[in-house]
């Protein structure tokens, strides 16, 4: 089955809403110059909550070929959860994607696989697509345990989801040792784990969902390594941090197919 690759730029806690306007405009101009074809690769910006309304207005107003989304979501629907943002609020802003379980949320905010699983469910229930992050730390990789470790995460973060729900979401394999470090996994490393994830999805909910689910690689992806990563049969895009803050660089990543 043909899966349209998804290149999602995770801005993390960077760019206020004024700076966001500048980056989105420059990204759109650069994609236009590069004759970007959205049927070959989907581009999304995953922005801080405070930027969403601005980015939405710009993308929808100017009909830019970009999707947008959020970096996290509350587990709760509404109420006394000071500082949190609900899935309904994000859906109301027309977010397409919500990242759940990024390693920085797991490390600094104690998010467990069970929380990530619940967040994936609230995102889908609100009509958006979760980008569900998994990935091992360096000690696990060094011990050669990365495949079973990531598959155990996959079992937990997908628990209770139907075949259709799993087929419709995005899984981001992000080896934690490669995030923001400049250490990129080799294409073979990325394929080994992304292929294993697809195999596990087939075991869990069937081959049709495994064929449909998009599996991204994330971890120091840039224009100089994206082509080799994307040549791997089970890598369906990238979750891109640092390199997505440079419009020209991210545009090259999005148009990797050229």
| Three-class secondary structure of residue 43 per DSSP | strand
Instruction: Pick between residue 11 and residue 36 the one whose CB is nearest to ligand PEP.
Output: 11
List, as one string, the DSSP characters of 48-115.
-GGGHHHHHHHHHHTT-S-EEEES---SSSSSS-TT---HHHHHHTT--EEEES-HHHHHHH---HHH
Q: Which is nearer to ligand PEP, 154 or 205 (CB)?
A: 154
Q: What is the size of the binding site for ligand PEP (CB under 6 A)?
A: 14
Site string for ligand PEP, 169-188 (x = CB under 6 A): -----x----xx--------
Choose, by CB under 6 A, the member of 41, 220, 223, 225 that binds ligand PEP. Answer: 220
Taking the complex as a whole, how short is the minimal distance between the CB of residue 189 and ligand PEP, in angstroms?
A: 14
- Among 44, 240, 247, 253, the residue binding ligand PEP under the rule CB under 6 A is 240
Report d(CA 45, CA 64) in Å as an integer. 12
> 3-class SS at 9?
strand
Question: Binding site for substrate: what residues are annotated?
Answer: 10-12, 180, 220, 241-242
For residue 218, state whether it binds ligand PEP (rule: CB under 6 A).
Answer: yes
Q: Is 109 a catalytic residue?
A: no
For residue 194, the Cα-to-chain-centroid distance in whole angstroms is: 14
* Shortest CB 10 distance to ligand PEP, Å: 4
Q: How far is the CB of 44 from ligand PEP (least distance, A)?
A: 13
Q: Of 42, 102, 104, 192, which residue is the catalytic one?
A: 102
What region does 101 belong to: left with phi over 0, alpha with psi -120 to 50, or beta? left
User: Residue 190: what are its φ and ψ, rounded to 5°?
Assistant: -65, -45
Please report, as ranges, the residues that interact with ligand PEP according to CB under 6 A: 10, 12, 174, 179-180, 218-221, 239-243
Q: Which residues carry out catalysis?
A: 102, 174
């Amino acid at each position: 089955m043909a899966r349209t690759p998804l290149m999602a730029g995770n801005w993390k806690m960077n760019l206020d809403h004024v700076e966001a306007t500048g980056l989105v405009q420059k990204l759109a101009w650069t994609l236009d110059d590069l004759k970007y074809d959205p049927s070959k690769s989907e581009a999304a910006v995953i922005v801080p909550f405070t930027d969403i309304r601005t980015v939405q207005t710009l993308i929808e107003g100017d009909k830019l070929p970009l999707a947008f989304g959020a970096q996290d979501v509350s587990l709760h629907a509404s109420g006394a959860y000071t500082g949190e943002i609900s899935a309904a609020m994000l859906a109301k802003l027309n977010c397409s994607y919500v990242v759940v379980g990024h390693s920085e949320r797991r490390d600094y905010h104690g998010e467990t696989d069970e929380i990530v699983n619940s967040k994936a469910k609230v995102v889908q229930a609100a009509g958006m697509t979760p980008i569900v992050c998994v990935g091992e730390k360096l000690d696990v990789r060094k011990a050669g345990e990365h495949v079973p470790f990531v598959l155990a995460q996959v079992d937990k973060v997908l628990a209770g989801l139907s075949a259709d729900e799993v087929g419709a979401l995005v899984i981001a394999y992000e080896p934690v040792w490669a995030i923001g470090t400049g250490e990129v996994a080799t294409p073979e490393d990325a394929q080994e784990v992304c292929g294993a994830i697809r195999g596990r999805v087939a075991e869990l909910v069937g081959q049709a969902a495994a064929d449909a689910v998009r599996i991204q690689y994330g971890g120091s992806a840039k224009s100089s390594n994206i082509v080799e990563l994307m040549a791997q049969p089970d890598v369906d895009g990238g979750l891109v941090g640092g390199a997505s803050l440079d419009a020209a660089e991210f545009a090259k990543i999005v148009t990797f197919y050229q």
